[in-house]
Amino acid sequence: MRFGRRADPAAPLHVWAALGLLAPLLWALAMPLTFLWQSLPAWRHQGLDLVAGAQWFYRAERFGAASMIFGTAAVSLIAIALAAPLGLAAAVSVHSCLRGRAGLMVKALMELLAGVPSVVYGLLGVMMLRTWMYGLLQPLDPISGDSLLTAGVLLAVMILPTLATLADDVLRSADARPALAARGLGLTRSETLFSVTLPGAARGLWAAVLIALGRALGETIAVFLVVGRQDNQPLRLSSLIEPGQTLTSKLGGSEIHIAAGDSLHWSALMALAVILLAISLLTTFLGLRLAGRRP
C-alpha cells in the first residue's frame, strides 16, 4: 500500500509533454483551417473561377488566380528543369569519384551554399542577373530584365545546392553491395552506375527533385525581387520573357496591406494562400511517398 502510494517522480511528464504539444498541434491544425475559413467569401463570390479565371482586378472585384498559378508553375518548372540535370550530375560525380575527406569537403560546401538566405539570391538577381538577362534577350525585345524567366533562372541557382546535397544524401545512404557485386561481375564503373546504382536510387533521387521543386514553389523573396510583379500576364509561352506574377510574389506584396480594409479582397488573397498550401502539400506528399515513407 505504501509503495503503491509513493508518487512516480516521472508521472507529470505526460502532463508537461501534453502542454508543450498543445501549441504546435493547435498551430498545425489552425493554419490551414484559418486560411480556408478566411477564403470562404471569395470562393462564394467567384466560385471555381477563382482558380480558373485569369483576370485579377481587385477594384472591380474580379479575382482569378490562373495567371499567378501559371507564373508559379512556370518559374518553378524552369528552375527544376535547369537545376535537376546539373544538381544530379554534381551529386553523382561527387559520389562516384570523391571519397572520404574530399567528398565531405564538397558536401560541406554544398551545405553552406544551400544555407545562403534567399534574400541574398534576390540581391544577386536585382544587381546582376536581371541586367544579364535583359542583354541576353535583346533580340526578343523584352520590356525589362524582370521576367518569369529571370525568376526561374535565379531559383535554379538557388535550389541547385539543395538538390545536389539531397541527391548526395540519397546516394550516400544507398546500399553499396549491389554495386560491388556488379563490379565483381566485370561491369565497368559507368555500367555499374547506370544499370545498378542509379536505378536503385531512382525513387530517392526523384524525391530529392520533388523536395527541391517544393522549395522553388514556395520561395517568396528571391522571386519577388526579379519577377516584375505584373498582374494578368496571358497564359502563353511568350509571357515567360515578360514581367509576371506568382502566387508567392502576390502574397508577399503590398496588396496584403491594401486588402486590410476590404474583406472580399482579403478573402481572395487568403484563397491564394489556400491554393499555394494545396500545391505545396501535394508536392511534399508525392516526395515523401517516393522517399519510401508511405503516408
Partner 1 sequence: MTPRRFRHVRQRLAFGLLFLGFALALVPLVWVIGSVLRLGLPGLDPEFLLTPMSGGGTAGGVAGQIQGTLILLATAFVLCAPCALATALWIGALAPAGGRVRVVGEHGLHILNAMPSILFGLFVMFVWVRTWGFGKSWLAGGAALAMMMLPTTTLAVLERFRSTPGEQLDAAAGLGFSRARVVTAVMLPRAWIGLVTGSLLGLARAAGETAPILFTAVIFSGAGFPDGVRESPVLALPYHIFVMAQDVHHPDAAARIWSSALLLVLIGSLLSLAVFPLRLRLYASNPGF
Look up residue 155 and give its three cell numbers: 531559383
CB 233 within 8 A of CB 242: yes
By CB under 8 A, tell whether 275 contacts partner 1: no
Rounded Cα distance between 123 and 222, Å, is 8
Any contact of residue 121 with partner 1 (CB under 8 A)?
Answer: yes
Choose the stretch contacting partner 1; rule: CB under 8 A; options: 47-55, 134-142, 144-152, 163-171.
163-171
Candidates 77, 123, 136, 258: give the one binding partner 1 (CB under 8 A): 123
Near partner 1 by CB under 8 A, which window of 45-53, 73-81, 134-142, 277-285? 277-285
Task: Report the residue number, 86 or 137, with the smaller CB distance to partner 1.
Answer: 86
What does the angle CA 141 – CA 143 – CA 144 come to, to the nearest 5 degrees?
A: 110
Between CA 21 and CA 15 the distance in angstroms is 10
CB of 199 to partner 1, least distance (A): 15
Q: Does 65 bind partner 1 (CB under 8 A)?
A: no
Return the amino acid letter for 52: A
Q: What are phi and psi of 10, to 5 degrees?
A: -95, 0
Looking at the Cβ atoms of 47 and 143, the one nearer to partner 1 is 143
Q: Write the binding mask 69 to 108 for partner 1: x where contact by CB under 8 A, - elsewhere.
A: ----------------xxxxxx-xxx-x----------xx
Q: Give the binding range for partner 1 (CB under 8 A) out of 8-16, 44-52, 55-63, 135-143.
A: 8-16
Nearest distance, CB of residue 285 and partner 1, angstroms: 7
Burial class (CB in 10 A: 0-12, 13-18, 19+), 3: exposed
Of 178-237, binders to partner 1 (CB under 8 A) are 188-191, 193-194, 204, 207-208, 211, 214-215, 217-221, 225
Cell 501535394, residue? 282
- Exposed, middle or buried by CB within 10 Å (0-12, 13-18, 19+), for 172? middle
**Cβ 226 vs Cβ 126: under 8 Å:** yes
- Our finding on whether 47 is near partner 1 (CB under 8 A) is no
Q: Residue 166 in contact with residue 291, Cβ under 8 Å?
A: no
The distance of closest approach from Cβ of residue 238 to partner 1 in the complex, given in angstroms and rounded to an integer, is 26
278 binding partner 1? (CB under 8 A):
no
Q: Among residues 272, 273, 288, which one has the least CA distance to residue 67?
A: 272
Distance of closest approach, residue 245 Cβ to partner 1, in angstroms: 14
For residue 252, give the 3-state DSSP assignment: coil
| 152 binds partner 1, rule: CB under 8 A | no
Smallest distance, partner 1 to C-beta of residue 53, A = 22
d(CA 281, CA 118): 21
Query: Rounded to an integer, what distance in angstroms lies between the CA atom of residue 295 and that of residue 285?
Result: 8
Residues 9-28 that bind partner 1 (CB under 8 A): 9-11, 13-14, 16-21, 23-25, 27-28
In the complex, the smallest distance separating the C-beta of residue 236 from partner 1, rounded to whole angstroms, is 26
